[in-house]
Amino acid sequence: MTSLDVPSRMPARVPTPRPGDPRLARLSLNQRTTANWTLAEAIEGSVRAGIGSIGVWREPLAEVGLEAGKRMLDDAGLRVSSVCRGGFFTDPATFYDALETNRAAIDETAFLGAETLVLVAGGLPAGSRDVVAARDRVIQAIALLVPYARERGVNLSIEPMHPIFAADRGVISTLGQALGIAERFDPADVGVVVDTFHVWWDPEVLPQIQRAAGRISSYQVCEWITPLPPDALLSRGMMGDGHIDFATLTAAVAAAGYTGDVEVEIFNADVWAADGDAVVGTLARRYVELVQPYL
């Protein structure tokens, strides 16, 4: 109880939950949190820690091959809480290539027996200042992909991204905006991802989570820390190290009827440089302290 958490500087305030602890039942390790682990290592690390679910990224999955990857996941008895990721629809020069890539991502999601494909919209095309047009292309792309995804039982899950990423990564910037798109479709076909890092600041976040009832296909947690690390893409922190009110947001997501897994997804150079098992231990402690009680 007096040891420091890794990679945080905050002392551990709760013991590491042991495998089989019922509080871990809905915890999922998003692979990007332990970015230096292969899929096999992430699976083994999750099992060692008693985490029963994993958010799979396509690139490390491709390294072992789809069929081998599925066998490894099945052998370990892990659920796949989401596949990351589809999207990147905003550049007219690559629009049809992006649709093809997304169909492949839908196929992989279905093959893994997962339901949720996370969509990151994409940023402004090079040289463009037309965020309205970029947002329109996201809607068009989703409309074109829905029939394909529906046939395969895959939910296209729009992830609104923090406005810090609006220019270069994700032009869908608020939960309300994501819902405005998702609501054009059946909830079984198009959902939304609620990631605390992306939405915590939004003055409308609580009513929008309520509005999202029946549409939340993934709940992801990570922290907004200050000072913000220099690389915006790697600026996410370990829950508890920053400013986000996980109790309120988690309770709102639960009140909206979400019963799925809770992914911890942290892009952070310090987290990536730390020992994977230590990171998983820390996030499990923080999760049972800060998130799980409010589910």
Element (H, E) at 216: strand 216-221
Half-sphere exposure of 68 (CA within 13 A, CB side): 9
For residues 66 and 254, what is the distance between their CA atoms, to the nearest angstrom?
33
Residue of 66, 232, 254, 269 that binds a copy of itself (CB under 8 A): 232
Alpha-carbon dihedral angle through residues 156, 191, 200, 34, given to the nearest 10 degrees: -40
User: What one-letter code names the amino acid at 119?
Assistant: L
For the bound state, the minimum distance from the C-beta of residue 231 to a copy of itself, rounded and expressed in Å, comes to 7
For the bound state, the minimum distance from the C-beta of residue 126 to a copy of itself, rounded and expressed in Å, comes to 10
Return the sign of the alpha-carbon dihedral for residues 199, 149, 153, 40. Answer: negative
Beta-sheet pairing, 262-264 with 116-120: unpaired
Mask for 75-114, x = binds a copy of itself (CB under 8 A): ----------------------------------------
Mask for 149-178, x = binds a copy of itself (CB under 8 A): -------------xxx-xxx----xx-xx-
Residue of 224, 267, 272, 287 that binds a copy of itself (CB under 8 A): 224
Residue of 66, 110, 131, 139 that binds a copy of itself (CB under 8 A): 131
Number of neighbours of residue 80 by Cβ within 10 angstroms: 22
For residues 80 and 121, what is the distance between their CA atoms, to the nearest angstrom?
22
The interface region with a copy of itself, picked from 70-78, 79-87, 125-133, 151-159 by CB under 8 A, is 125-133
Which of these, 25, 21, 33, 84, lies nearest to 259 by C-alpha position? Answer: 25
The smaller minimum CB distance to a copy of itself, of residues 20 and 203, is found at 203
User: Which token pair is 261?
Assistant: 């897994």
Residue 222: phi, psi to the nearest 5?
A: -160, 180
The smaller minimum CB distance to a copy of itself, of residues 17 and 160, is found at 160
Residue of 20, 22, 77, 227 that binds a copy of itself (CB under 8 A): 227
For the bound state, the minimum distance from the C-beta of residue 66 to a copy of itself, rounded and expressed in Å, comes to 33
For the bound state, the minimum distance from the C-beta of residue 163 to a copy of itself, rounded and expressed in Å, comes to 4
The smaller minimum CB distance to a copy of itself, of residues 225 and 264, is found at 225
Residue 106: phi, psi to the nearest 5?
A: -65, -45
Mask for 238-257, x = binds a copy of itself (CB under 8 A): ----xxxxx-----------
- The contact set with a copy of itself (CB under 8 A) reads 124, 128-131, 135, 162-164, 166-168, 173-174, 176-177, 200-203, 224, 226-228, 230-232, 242-246
